[in-house]
Structure formats: structure tokens, C-alpha cells
Chains A and B, each alone.
Chain A
Amino acid sequence: MTGAPTLAVWKFASCDGCQLTLLDCEDELLAIADRVDIAHFTEASSRSQPGPYDVSLVEGSVTTAADAERIRRVRAMSRTLVTIGACASAGGVQALRNFADVREFASVVYARPDYISALATSTPVAAHVDVDFELRGCPVDRRQLLEVLTALLAGRKPNIPAHSVCFECKQRAVVCVAVARGTPCLGPVTHAGCGALCPAHQRGCYGCFGPAETPNAGAQAGLLRAAGLSEADVLRAYRTFNAGAPAFIELSRVTDGPPPGSGPRDLPERGDQGD
């Protein structure tokens, strides 16, 4: 094992699902362990080697003052730091507290909220330290996780497309649920990576991979409203597992738009229709 690159896996506020995705690589896990020295992975091993580490995978968001300190120590020990999942990359579902009062939240769950220490916000790792790569998804996709690990071992950039879920529907020849069935779908504004799982199951994408590059806010709002969502529904749609992602916050402010099919090709004055 001497000379093999060292890998550390860290957990912050999260459900364990993204770390579990590494253990879910049933066909590849032992081969990875042959190539990589898994030096720190508390969920899988009671032995922990001290840093520094070549690669750290970080799951979870920062929600306590102690964790805000811990992520700095992890960064200092890591040559390359990769966040895995919606919590580490966007704050996770627990970032819904960012739009509420955390003390009121604590009082709902705990009889003695004063025993509970939690920050007012749930923030992504990048809000605290430099991050070398963010892998999206709630949870991350197994094939994408393997691609990131393989790329890091080979010293190249991971091949993770930043386009929308719509591309994956076309690649899988999945009929568009929004167009064909009028199902509300976040696919047009959501980052690819899942393989268009929800549309393939005849439901609309619910945005668990976070925002795609350059989403069209007005067109998306129009699509959702035409599918029967209320303004409050549109807001809720963006406020789930990537509620803290800046692009989803921006999108959630646009709760109405032109119905699908009304532009820009169908309009006489194309020049005015930019967003």
C-alpha cells in the first residue's frame, strides 16, 4: 500500500447516503481499495491514519460552529477536496432553516432547545473553504462518483457534464413528461447526472441534482404554472434538497412566466424576449 494515494471520507450534517454510495460500488469497491489507501473513513473502518491526505471526499453541510472549525482542519489536511452531494455542495434539505428561524425550528423538535447548539444557517463547504470539485446529487450518482475518483487517480479533470436533465431524457429516449403529460418538471433547470431517473419513472424531475448552467427562469416558471402549480408550489419546488443553491434561490423568485410554446420562436419581436 506504500505509495498508493490516500483517501479520506468525512461526514458533516447529512444522511450518510453519499458515503454509502461509495460502499454501494459493490463491483468496484475492492478494486478501489487495491489502488487507493483508504486512510480515514469512519463509517467503514475503526482505524484512522493521520493526514495529510491526497483526496478528501466531504459529505454534509456546515451547521455548527464546531463543524465550521473542523472543515478548515480537513481542508488543511487535504491536497484535493471534493464535496459529494447536495448537502456539501448546496447546504442540503436542512438549509430550509436559512429561510426560517433556527431557534423556532429547535423549539418544535426539542423540549429544551437550549441544549441544542446549531448555527442559524446550513451552508455548503465552499462557503467556508476552497473546494476543488463539487459533485452534485441527492444522493450522488454511483457512476459519477467512480468517474471523479478515476479522474483524480489519473490526474485529469472529471468528465461531469453541466447541462440539464433534458439532455439525459433525450439520450435515454424518455418522452418529455412536461410536454406529453403536463407534469410539472424541474428537468430544464436541473443539473444532469441522475440519468433522468424521475422522467423515466413517469414523474417530473424534482431537482435533487441542483441547478444546471444558465437556467431560463421565465420559461421554467411558465412551464410550472401551466402545469397547474400555484406561486407557493413553485417556491416549494425549488426549496427542497438544494434550497441553498444561489441559482435555485434566484429561480424561486420568478414564480410566473409565459406559458410553454409562446416564445421566443412564436413571437414576432424576437429581440425583446431575452431574459
Chain B
Amino acid sequence: MTSRKGVTRVTEQTDRTLTVRALARVEGEGAMHVRVRDGAVEDVRLEIYEPPRFFEALLRGRRHTEPPDITARICGICPVAYQMSACLAIEAACGIEVTDAVADLRRLLYCGEWIESHALHIYLLHAPDFLGYASALDLAREGRGLVERGLALKKAGNAIMELVGGRAVHPVNVRVGGFYRAPAKTEMAALAEQLRGALDLALDTVTWAAGFEFPDFRHDHEMLALVTPGQYAIERGTVASTGGLAFAPAQFEDYVIEEQVPHSTALHARLAGRGRYLTGPTARYTLSGQWLSPLARQAADAAGLGAECRNPFRSILVRAVEVVYAVEEALRLIDRYEPPAPCYLEVPPRAAVGHGATEAPRGVLFHRYAIDAEGLVTSARIVPPTSQNQASIEDDLRRFVAGRLDLDDRELTRQCEQAIRNYDPCISCSTNFLDLTVDRG
């Protein structure tokens, strides 16, 4: 618990290297490298060495009905995000818009993924940093009830995934145009019962996390998220940024440029003519916070979150608030649920290009597909949140390390790892991530 105890101050050492070879408690494989020369941070690199799997290449020649199932396999933690962005893109190409009832059922499924993914990150990946444990399993030896609460919350998210999606990892019930099967109202009633219990757990999570000690740190990145005025954006929206950008998902590639860097199998995204930016929970909160439900808004205010969140360490609070919102929103959707009939629309193919963007737990996830008249995919482009955030994460680390060069390597490395986990980086998604080295010469 006493992470600051026994820290050796390093004052005389002006050149050094810090390395984390395998970042723990992140999804996927990455490393971090920090080089310090003459007492100044010379270089910070997130190295993504997760082996590339070439999804954009292997999607070519597949039927236009297949990308939701195939791209789900990019990430076991946020498969619904991939399925939803893929469906939107293909439906846009084919000129189909799903019914409101299907859109609502998609939003419900997506709430399940937000709850499951956020609860996993808050309790199993991130909270151990604030409490000084190597893992939630170590935390459970002293605070079993806490971890049990997190697991119960996560289970509620998975219950939505299993009922609406058919499976917690790689749901089978999603199809282009809708769902294979609409859950019965009686099944929804049982789910609502579980979610009412989860709402208390979610509120307790915000209160608990609000008591953590947050390092003083502020970034000035442009933040980018989907917005749906009047509603907290999840399964659809237009793109907006704190810098005043506003554009449709179909224009995404006019505004966002991906570049390859030698040290990473993830491409780095930048806003054309503007530079790095940040997507994810804090961006959503900053751009859509006024559209949270009253209870989630109240929880955010009580936790001390203002109108915006620019301290990445406080992202755990934003995730906790989003869990409150997602549970409430799921309950609202279930309350007015009538099984959609039909539960899907046929989506005949046509030669066209379609774009889709949704809010994955980690931020905006963009897909673009070109399909031919036979319904075969001729090209695919996927821009996951973590590759969009990579430049901002590196910039934050550079400034974070520069302010803490008096710490010894072990403590500095530990704090850098925590700083990286603030972003809940999904390396499997970005393939395209992280080993921490600090090179002090």
C-alpha cells in the first residue's frame, strides 16, 4: 500500500534508460522505452510488438455479411464495438438504415460491453495501481469484498452480452441488418433484476474510486469523440472535438491521417493540420457530459469531476461514471423493450463504399469497407482507438517523466506503467503495443 515509501531519490544521475519489456495489466503485448540524456527526456516510445494479424488484408474477398464476425476477433474485450462499427459501415454502403427497435437493442448490447470492459479495467487492471498491489488477486487477499464487487459488476455486463449477443466474447447473435434472434420480454425481465443490483455496485464504485490519490497532471490534447446531441453517444453519432471540429464518420479519413513509425506495429493517427489528439472515456465525458443521466451526472459531480477531465489518472473515475450511465441506460432500454419484428432487415449488396464509427469502450472505432456488386469486400480500413491515442500517450509520458526524474528507476518505471494504464490501451486492437525501457545513458 505504501508505494511512496522507500523510494530512492536519484539526483546525480543525468543519463539513464528505463525499460518495461512487457507491460502488465493491459490487453495485448507492448513495451515502453524512455531515454534520458543530460537530465532531460530525449525520447519516449511505446513499442507495440504485438504481432500483426493483417485483418484489413484478409477481409478482402469475404462476403459483405462476414466483417462483423471476422473483425470481432480483433479484440476479445471489445468485440461488440467491432461488430457495431462493421454493421454501420456495411449498412451505409448498401443504403440500409436499421429500425429504431434494432438500434435500441444494439445500444443495449453495447452497454453490456461498456460495463464488462470498464469493470475489468477499473477493478482488475487499474485499481491495483492506486492501492499498491501487483494484481486484483493480491488485492483480494486483503479486500475480497472489493474484488467480488468488481466481478459482480463485470458479470452484469456479461449477462447483457450473453442474452442479447449470445456469448460474452465474440457474440454470435449480431448480423448486418440487425440480430438473428430477438430476446423474449421474459428473458429481459430477469436481466433487469440483475442490473438493478448492479446499479448500486456501480454507484459504490464511483464513491470508492473518488477516494484514490491522483497525481497532479494535466494535458492539453484536442479531445475527439462521437456526439449525439441529447444523448451520451455510444452506438452512433457524428464526430466532434474540443477544438471545434465537427464532421460525419464518412469524412473521417479527410480529417484523420495514420502514419507508420518504425517502433510499432500500430499506426499512429493525427488530425490533419492539427496533430495529436485523444479519444476515449475522458473525451466522451468532456464532449457529452451534459447528456449523462441525472444519477450518473450526480455521481460525477460528487466524485469531483468538473465539466471536463484533463487528468488522465482520473480516467478511472470517468469509467466508473460511465458504468453507472450504462447500467441505467440498459435498464431504461429494457423497460421499454418490445422484441423487434422483424429482428433484422435483409441487406442486399451493391457496389459502394460505406463508413461506420461507434464509441468502443476505449474511444472512437472507425471502419470503412468497399464492396462490389457481388457483395464481396474489395477493401477495408479499420482505425482503432489505441492507435489514435498513441501519440498523445507518448506526449503525456514525456512530460510525466520530465517532472519525475528525481525518482529511482524502479519507482519511475512503476509510475510510468500506471500512467500508460490510464488509457486502458488495447494492444490487441491496435496490434498493432508495449516492453518499458528507460535509457538514462
Q: A16-B428, A139-B170, A197-B166 are in contact. Are A38 and B75 (CB under 8 A)?
A: no
Within 8 A of A (CB), among B142-174: 144, 147-148, 151-152, 154-155, 158, 166-170, 172-173
Give chain A residues whose Cβ lies under 8 Å from the Cβ of B51: 12-13, 63-64, 67, 118
Q: Which of A93, A104, A138 has the most CB of B within 10 A?
A: A93
Interface window among A40-48, A125-133, A248-256: A40-48
Q: A16-B428, A197-B166, A201-B180 are in contact. Are A100 and B57 (CB under 8 A)?
A: yes
The reply to whether A201 and B173 contact each other, CB–CB distance below 8 Å, is yes
Give chain A residues whose Cβ lies under 8 Å from the Cβ of B27: 16, 43
Query: Which A-chain residue is minimally distant from B28 (CB atoms)?
Result: A16
Query: Which B-chain residue is minimally distant from A115 (CB atoms)?
Result: B262
The reply to whether B260 and A20 contact each other, CB–CB distance below 8 Å, is no
Q: When the two chains form the complex, which single residue of A23, A38, A108 contacts B57, counting CB atoms closer than 8 Å?
A: A108
Interface window among B98-106, B131-139, B216-224, B307-315: B131-139
Q: A13-B51, A20-B77, A30-B148 are in contact. Are A105 and B124 (CB under 8 A)?
A: no
The reply to whether B25 and A43 contact each other, CB–CB distance below 8 Å, is yes
The reply to whether A26 and B25 contact each other, CB–CB distance below 8 Å, is no
Query: Smallest Cβ distance from B94 to chain A, in angstroms?
Result: 19
Query: Which B-chain residue is minimally distant from A116 (CB atoms)?
Result: B52
The answer to whether B175 has its CB under 8 Å from any CB of chain A is yes
Query: Which B-chain residue is minimally distant from A11 (CB atoms)?
Result: B29
The reply to whether B57 and A26 contact each other, CB–CB distance below 8 Å, is no
Query: Which A-chain residue is minimally distant from B74 (CB atoms)?
Result: A15
Query: Smallest Cβ distance from B306 to chain A, in angstroms?
Result: 31
The reply to whether A33 and B137 contact each other, CB–CB distance below 8 Å, is yes
- Size range of the interface on A? 35 or more
Query: Smallest Cβ distance from A24 to chain B, in angstroms?
Result: 6
**How far apart are the CA atoms of A54 and B128 in the complex, in Å?**
26
Q: When the two chains form the complex, which single residue of A21, A27, A47, A116 contacts B138, counting CB atoms closer than 8 Å?
A: A47
Q: A15-B75, A42-B22, A201-B181 are in contact. Are A112 and B151 (CB under 8 A)?
A: no
Taken residue by residue from 37 to 68, chain B's Cβ proximity to chain A (1 for < 8 Å, 0 otherwise) reads as 00000000000001111111110111100100
The reply to whether A203 and B172 contact each other, CB–CB distance below 8 Å, is yes
Taken residue by residue from 184 to 200, chain A's Cβ proximity to chain B (1 for < 8 Å, 0 otherwise) reads as 00000000001001101
Q: A106-B52, A198-B172 are in contact. Are A17 and B76 (CB under 8 A)?
A: yes
Query: Smallest Cβ distance from A83 to chain B, in angstroms?
Result: 16
Interface size of B by CB at 8 A reads: 65
Give chain B residues whose Cβ lies under 8 Å from the Cβ of A63: 51-53
**How far apart are the CA atoms of A198 and B171 in the complex, in Å?**
10
Within 8 A of B (CB), among A86-141: 92-94, 96-97, 100, 102, 104-106, 108-112, 115-116, 118, 122, 138-139
Q: A38-B137, A115-B262 are in contact. Are A93 and B75 (CB under 8 A)?
A: no
Q: A26-B152, A94-B54, A139-B170 are in contact. Are A44 and B124 (CB under 8 A)?
A: yes
Interface window among A159-167, A211-219, A233-241, A264-272: A233-241
Query: Smallest Cβ distance from B342 to chain A, in angstroms?
Result: 12
The answer to whether A208 has its CB under 8 Å from any CB of chain B is yes
The reply to whether A26 and B53 contact each other, CB–CB distance below 8 Å, is no
Taken residue by residue from 1 to 29, chain B's Cβ proximity to chain A (1 for < 8 Å, 0 otherwise) reads as 00000000000000000000011111111
Within 8 A of B (CB), among A4-23: 11-21, 23
The answer to whether B79 has its CB under 8 Å from any CB of chain A is yes
Q: A139-B170, A197-B166 are in contact. Are A93 and B73 (CB under 8 A)?
A: yes
**How far apart are the CA atoms of A80 and B258 in the complex, in Å?**
43
**How far apart are the CA atoms of A26 and B172 in the complex, in Å?**
21
Q: A12-B51, A13-B53 are in contact. Are A43 and B180 (CB under 8 A)?
A: no
The answer to whether B341 has its CB under 8 Å from any CB of chain A is no
Give chain A residues whose Cβ lies under 8 Å from the Cβ of B134: 45-47
Q: When the two chains form the complex, which single residue of B148, B172, B265 contacts A197, counting CB atoms closer than 8 Å?
A: B172
The answer to whether B140 has its CB under 8 Å from any CB of chain A is yes
The reply to whether B53 and A94 contact each other, CB–CB distance below 8 Å, is yes
**How far apart are the CA atoms of A43 and B25 in the complex, in Å?**
4
Query: Smallest Cβ distance from B173 to chain A, in angstroms?
Result: 5
Query: Smallest Cβ distance from A194 to chain B, in angstroms?
Result: 8
Query: Smallest Cβ distance from B197 to chain A, in angstroms?
Result: 13
Query: Smallest Cβ distance from A63 to chain B, in angstroms?
Result: 5
Q: Which of A13, A14, A16, A21 has the most CB of B within 10 A?
A: A16
The reply to whether A26 and B170 contact each other, CB–CB distance below 8 Å, is no
Query: Which A-chain residue is minimally distant from B62 (CB atoms)?
Result: A236
Taken residue by residue from 162 to 203, chain B's Cβ proximity to chain A (1 for < 8 Å, 0 otherwise) reads as 000011111011010000110000000000000000000000
Query: Smallest Cβ distance from A120 to chain B, in angstroms?
Result: 12
**How far apart are the CA atoms of A185 and B125 in the complex, in Å?**
39
Besides A24-B158, A198-B180, A202-B181, 16 new A-B residue pairs in contact (Cβ under 8 A), listed by A number: A16-B27, A27-B155, A30-B147, A67-B51, A93-B73, A94-B53, A110-B267, A112-B262, A115-B262, A138-B170, A139-B76, A139-B170, A203-B173, A206-B69, A208-B170, A236-B66
Identify the A interface with B (CB < 8 A). Answer: 11-21, 23-24, 26-27, 29-30, 33, 38, 41-48, 63-64, 67, 92-94, 96-97, 100, 102, 104-106, 108-112, 115-116, 118, 122, 138-139, 142, 194, 197-198, 200-203, 206, 208, 233, 236, 240-241
5 interchain pairs, CB-CB under 8 A = A11-B29, A93-B70, A94-B53, A102-B54, A115-B262
- Which 7 pairs, one residue from A and one from B, show the smallest C-beta to C-beta distance? A17-B76, A45-B135, A47-B134, A46-B24, A105-B57, A94-B53, A26-B155
